[in-house]
Amino acid sequence: MTNLQIFGAYPEVYLASTHQAKIALLQNIFDTYVLKDIAKIYDLKNQKLAKDILTKIALQLGSEVSVREIANSLQANVSTVANYIEIFIKNYILIPLPSFKTNIRRVVSENRKLFFYDLGIRNILVKDFRETNLRPDKGGVFENFIVSELEKGRKNLHANQNLYFYREYGGREVDLIVEDYYKHYLSVEIKISGKNIKKNIFPLPHTFFTIDTTNYFETIKKIQRIFQGGHRHPD
């Protein structure tokens, strides 16, 4: 798992024998596919802006992303920044996690969270390939890893579920909400350790999971079985 959080899951990167070889491959993938190929296909006029937008998102891992704030910080047009982000979502660079809204309680968030399908690409942007225990962003990296694994599983299984996060006006938050087409819900807290578990605050009837570094594999598999079973929850 640690290797996936640092270098991602591109097969050629995963199989490379040294860290330097992995970093060189990631840089090449980013330069040729993420920037050059996507820019050419979609006629993006400013590759530097595209890279700067992704870098801003990479530095906000696990937090809500404001398109307007990114645009202002880069002195760019808001609609241009929004368009670039949608292109990166469409091309499986970014995973959007919208806010779940319910009338039962007042919630606040017009922004989305944005995660990376591949953490190697994210780490090439922030130029940090240290072991996760040495990193101040280790919580966000682990959250991204879990969201990415679940999203890839959801797509591979063609599952009828949607993923959200949930936050109240008071600031309390649920990391991940899974909603199926029958309006059954999973509430998922993602923690590096099993300590200091937050109160289970999601207001609708749901199944609650906590994912940490000790149980992530079996819990992801359990949630994926729910994906496979539609609205039927396993024992």
Round to whole Å and give the CA distance between 57 and 62.
9
- Give the per-residue pLDDT at 172: 85
Is the Cβ–Cβ distance between 16 and 25 less than 8 Å? yes
- Give the per-residue pLDDT at 223: 92
Q: Which residue carries 């990296």 as its tokens?
A: 141
Question: Residues 17-27: pLDDT tens digits?
Answer: 999 999 999 99
Please report which confidence band the pLDDT of residue 102 belongs to, taking 50, 70 and 90 as the band edges: low
Instruction: Return the CATH number of 2-228, one of 3.30.450.40, 3.30.990.10, 1.10.10.10, 1.20.1630.10.
Output: 1.10.10.10
Task: List the Cα angle 17/22/25 in 5-degree steps.
Answer: 125
Question: Residues 218-235: pLDDT tens digits?
Answer: 999 999 888 887 545 444
Contact residues for 148 (Cβ-Cβ < 8 A; gap 6+):
95, 115, 116, 117, 118, 119
User: How many angstroms separate the Cα of 36 from the Cα of each of 42, 43, 88?
Assistant: 10, 10, 13
Residue 10 confidence (pLDDT) above 90: yes
